[in-house]
Structure 1
Amino acid sequence: MSEERNPNRTQDSPSWGKLILRFFISAIVIGVAAFITPGFRIDGLWGVFLAALAISVINYLIERVFNFDASPFGRGIAGFVVAAIVIYVSQFFIAAMSVTLLGAIIGAIVIGIIDMVIPGKTI
């Protein structure tokens, strides 16, 4: 669709393909973080996908409601704290996920480090 046909679409809006790719990258990052972080456990592949979905939805709601980037290093220490809280709260929506408070903090650090290495926004 060209800009002439759909004037409401902005240049910055991602396509469905980019959103799906970003979701899968987020799932991989969250799965790796859960694997190497003590106190952060996700059971099974579907659990990883559901955790990525829950974290993405909570992150999206925070960005829309508070106009705040909730990525681990998005807004300095405040972004890091919000990212840890998002990881911790997600366990209450996903049965296959369990996170301790320390695991959420370490997980936010791990996700932030991986996010700095992988180009594009992962969470």
Structure 2
Amino acid sequence: MFKLIIKILVSALAILVASWLPGGFKVDSFGVAISAAVVIGLLDWAINRFTGIDASPFGRGSVGFIAAAIILFITGKLVDGFHVTIIGAVVGAVILGIVDIFIPADKRPI
């Protein structure tokens, strides 16, 4: 349980970092970032479970990158206070891909 909490917190911090950069990616608070991290993790799990596509950018090629951007965009529609444009989803996928280099997807919920 402790590892899951750490994974969610790391993902939330990555989301906050992405929101500080220009490009259509905005998070209202750390609590919203945590909610978004949970939703992103659930969407990633669902896509992987039903399609076999791992939505981990960079490590999975263009399909994973596109899936990560779509997940971010959908999360923006589902979580109040998490605002993502299409460009923001692409920027966010790049940032989450960079985080994925250091903390692989099997170590965190995204």
Correspondence 1:72 to 2:57? yes
Give the whole-Å Cα distance in 1 for the aligned partners of 2:64 and 2:70.
Answer: 10
Q: Residues 94 and 63 (structure 1 numbering): CA distance in 2 closer, same or farther, change over 3 Å?
A: same
Q: Alignment length, in residue pairs? A: 107
TM-score, length basis structure 2: 0.88
Give the whole-Å Cα distance in 2 for the aligned partners of 1:54 and 1:38.
Answer: 21
Give the whole-Å Cα distance in 1 for the aligned partners of 2:54 and 2:11.
Answer: 16
Offset at 1:63? Answer: 1.2
- Structure 1 runs, 4 residues or longer, greater than 3 Å off: none
1:55-66 alignment runs, 5 A limit:
55-66=40-51
Give the whole-Å Cα distance in 2 for the aligned partners of 1:78 and 1:120.
Answer: 17
Question: Structure 1 or 2: larger helix share?
Answer: 2
User: Is residue 12–residue 30 contact of structure 2 (8 Å, CA) maintained in 1?
Assistant: no
Q: CA RMSD in A?
A: 1.3
Higher-Rg member (1/2): 1
User: Is residue 88–residue 104 contact of structure 1 (8 Å, CA) maintained in 2?
Assistant: yes
Give the whole-Å Cα distance in 1 for the aligned partners of 2:30 and 2:37.
Answer: 11
Correspondence 1:120 to 2:108? no
Q: What is the aligned-residue identity percentage?
A: 36
Give the whole-Å Cα distance in 2 for the aligned partners of 1:46 and 1:23.
Answer: 11
RCO higher in 1 or 2 (8 Å CA, sep ≥ 6)? 2
Aligned to 2:75: 90
Offset at 1:82? Answer: 0.4
* Structure 1: 5+ residue stretches without partners: 1-15
**What are the superposed Cα offsets for residues 39-98 of structure 1, whole Å, 9 maximum, x if unpaired?**
000101111111111111111111111122111123200000000000001011111011
Aligned to 1:49: 34
